Structure 1
């Protein structure tokens, strides 16, 4: 099952980029044997300043056709890491070829795009900067693959 991280904004060189790259590499290495991955990033930017609606159009275009769409949003479902691992496993075992995780810009995800999503996850009720949310998602994907592989990375 291929995973896609569709996000507003590009991670420039710096600590967030280093962390994201590290977790993506770890996820791809661990997930391969489990039928998970690769994880591909799709960064979009609204250079014309059209707001959330314009960002939503760009994000929708970045989502592969037929992919299950999962938004990251403070209104989404909060889960434990083992529950998230089981959800990925469920999607994979259900025959999903592609899953797209969608992270909006500074103003969040347009309600129309959020309403079309198949699932929505939350990293808690606090709002996180979208660049940090991207790193957190990459880490959780690696953690999920580690859990499914029986690795000691996750100590619960």
Structure 2
């Protein structure tokens, strides 16, 4: 199952290096599990005047980047909080049900527009903290890598 990470904004140098590190690890370890590769699609922030217009514009572009996905995981502060193990097993379940592609969507500073929220297979919360988008993106990449280690029994995840 291919994975897409569609996100508003661009990563800075250090953020990009860490994201790339976990993406490479995920791609290498996921291959044997039928997961990957992970493709990044960066969307520029909307220049619309109002927050609702910005969210709608960004949601439309995120949805276009994720149009090949059979399932969409929308990162949302009001979403469901899963443990690493629960996320790993949910991803495996989606793969086992025959999904060909899954997208993780990270919205802009104003959040997601209703188009993205309504299309979500899963609304996922990374916790109650407000995180910069670059850190959220790195955290998703690390959790995807962690999911492959959980599913393969690798000792990286020591729970």
Tell me which interval the TM-score lies in, with the shorter structure as reference length: over 0.9
What residue ranges of structure 2 are gaps of 5+ in the alignment?
none
CA distance in 1, matches of 2:70, 2:8: 18
CA distance in 2, matches of 1:48, 1:123: 27
- Indicate conservation of the 8 Å contact 1:5/1:41, yes or no: yes
CA distance in 1, matches of 2:54, 2:139: 24
CA distance in 2, matches of 1:122, 1:95: 25
> Displacement, 1:46?
3.9
Q: Name the TM-score, length of structure 2 as normaliser.
A: 0.93
Question: 2:150 aligns to what SS in structure 1?
Answer: helix
> Displacement, 1:47?
5.1
Residue 158 of structure 2 is aligned to residue 155 of structure 1: yes
CA distance in 2, matches of 1:100, 1:47: 20
What residue ranges of structure 1 are gaps of 5+ in the alignment?
none
CA distance in 1, matches of 2:66, 2:11: 18
What residue number does 1:11 align with? 11
Question: 1:153 aligns to what SS in structure 2?
Answer: coil
Question: 1:101 aligns to what SS in structure 2?
Answer: strand
What residue number does 1:55 align with? 58
CA distance in 2, matches of 1:123, 1:47: 23
Query: C-alpha root-mean-square deviation of aligned residues, in Å?
Result: 1.2
Q: Which moved more, 1:132-141 or 1:102-111?
A: 102-111
Residue 138 of structure 2 is aligned to residue 135 of structure 1: yes
What residue number does 1:28 align with? 27
Question: 1:22 aligns to what SS in structure 2?
Answer: helix
Question: 1:102 aligns to what SS in structure 2?
Answer: strand
